[in-house]
Amino acid sequence: MSSEKEREREELLQRNYTEIAQLAGGLAHEIRNPLSTISLNLGVLKEDLEEGNTARDLRMKRRIETISRECEHLEQILSDFLHFTTGMELETQPCDLSAVVAEFIESQQLEAAARQIEISPHLAPDLPKVSLDPHQFRQVLLNLTLNAMQAMPEGGVLEFQTFREAENIVLQIIDNGNGISRQAQGRIFDLFYSSKPEGSGLGLPTVRKIVEAHQGTIQCESEPGRGTKFSIYLPVVE
């Protein structure tokens, strides 16, 4: 009897979550439309002032640039929010995690070089397959890599490691950047929490949501001033 009530409770919670997610997603779309109009008109105003060199024109251009940056920030928050609220419908297939990570690393080499960051891959060959949605998992890799690069403003080393541990394939992403304070470590996966002024507070919650949708887990270890390590555990495909 208790299991039946528990099942009904879970179904109710799921329906409530779905309704809230749909409402939030619709609201985000409604905000995005006028925001796009504002951004477009700011671009037109900036073009109109392009030839002006008076003190007034220069002040106007600086103000327009400030507003444009804030609009871009809002646009990023809305994009992250929509991605988070979207139902996690995975299209999985058996994948070699090392190969997926190697392909991603190749796409990031130019960005890393521009930031004076050395990417150091240690990817185990011939690992058992894991069940992945490559498109969704790329978002995990992208979010964690961007966080790591931002934590190394003066450059550094970014390591990617894959190996097997019991019935899981483990991916570790390790940087030697600024690290995360002990207080922040307990909140990094909380919605809308961010230690960065420009952060949306949705990047890491989205990462965890995608990893858990793959029946995996994610852990973070960090020491201020010495770097951060994220470990993702994904079950081996039977």
Whichever domain contains 182, its CATH number is 3.30.565.10
80, 115: one domain: no
Q: In this structure, are residues 203 and 143 in contact, taking their beta carbons and an 8 Å threshold?
A: yes
Number of separate domains in the chain:
2
Q: Point out the domain boundary residue: 85, 115, 140.
A: 85
Longest CA pairwise span in the chain (Å): 78
pLDDT at 91: 87
Q: The tokens of 46 are what?
A: 């900036």
159, 217: one domain: yes
Residue type, 205: P
72, 118: one domain: no
| Alpha-carbon distances of 60 from 46, 52, 74, 120, rounded to whole Å | 9, 10, 21, 46
CB-neighbour burial class of residue 137 (10 A; exposed 0-12, middle 13-18, buried 19+): buried
pLDDT at 86: 64
Q: The tokens of 139 are what?
A: 């978002």
49, 140: one domain: no
12, 100: one domain: no
In three-state secondary structure terms, 129 is: coil
54, 6: one domain: yes
207, 105: one domain: yes
Q: Point out the domain boundary residue: 85, 102, 135.
A: 85
120, 195: one domain: yes
Instruction: Count CB atoms within 10 A of the CB of residue 94.
Output: 10
Q: What range does the domain containing 79 cover? A: 2-85
* Average pLDDT along the chain, 238 residues, taken 10 residues at a time: 67 60 68 83 84 84 86 74 67 94 94 94 95 91 92 94 96 92 77 59 83 93 91 92
124, 216: one domain: yes
Q: In this structure, are residues 81 and 194 in contact, taking their beta carbons and an 8 Å threshold?
A: no
d(CA 182, CA 179): 9
- Chain-centroid distance, C-alpha 216: 16
pLDDT at 123: 96
d(CA 143, CA 146): 5
pLDDT at 75: 77
pLDDT at 15: 63
Report the chain's terminal Cα–Cα distance, integer Å. Answer: 33
160, 107: one domain: yes
pLDDT at 182: 80
Q: Point out the domain boundary residue: 85, 107, 134.
A: 85
70, 107: one domain: no
CB-neighbour burial class of residue 140 (10 A; exposed 0-12, middle 13-18, buried 19+): buried
pLDDT at 112: 94
140, 178: one domain: yes
- What is the model's pTM? 0.69
